[in-house]
Amino acid sequence: METKMIPVIVTLQSYSRGEHGEKEQPVRLMCHGKLRPTSDGCMLRYQEVQQDDAGDTVSTDVILNIQPKDGPRVTMTRMGDYGTTMVFVKDRRFEGAYHTPFGDLGLALYAMQVQCKLAEDCGSIHLEYQLDMQGSYSAVQCIDVSFCAESSQPC
């Protein structure tokens, strides 16, 4: 039996902190997505739409697999020309690649905070992690994602 996909509103905020703790201007997005309950959490799928530096519209499909128990664990898969998969488990390091049209870059992250709250048709995620690109420290990244069913009251 196929599990029903629930239409949701997704609110995303991300920002980075430099070496001395200075916080950069956050990026905020709101979009529509689909939520599907799974046996160990849920899968959230949405599309980020932003303008690049040249003013062109760029969209990226994102899938979050959220497992709130025994960890928690969040797997983020970003598809497209600039795709990657990242796994967030508190106090664990993940190594992978950031795929670009010009070649792959080495990517590593160390998750310092991974928090998940899930209900039947809504939830939130907080991720804080150190990001390294090509073996060099990049920044501390923070991502907050919240989502709720389109048919429910504001979350």
Give the pLDDT band of residue 152 (cuts 50, 70, 90): low
65/18: higher pLDDT: 65
pLDDT in tens, 32-73: 999 999 999 999 999 988 777 788 888 899 999 999 988 899
6 touches 149 (CB < 8 A): yes
- Is the confidence at residue 106, as pLDDT, over 80? yes
* Cβ burial 61-85 (10 Å sphere, 16+ → b, else e): ebbbbbbbeeebbbbbebeeeeebb
Domain ranges of the chain: 6-15+28-149
Can you identify the CATH homologous superfamily of domain 6-15+28-149?
Calycin beta-barrel core domain (2.40.128.20)
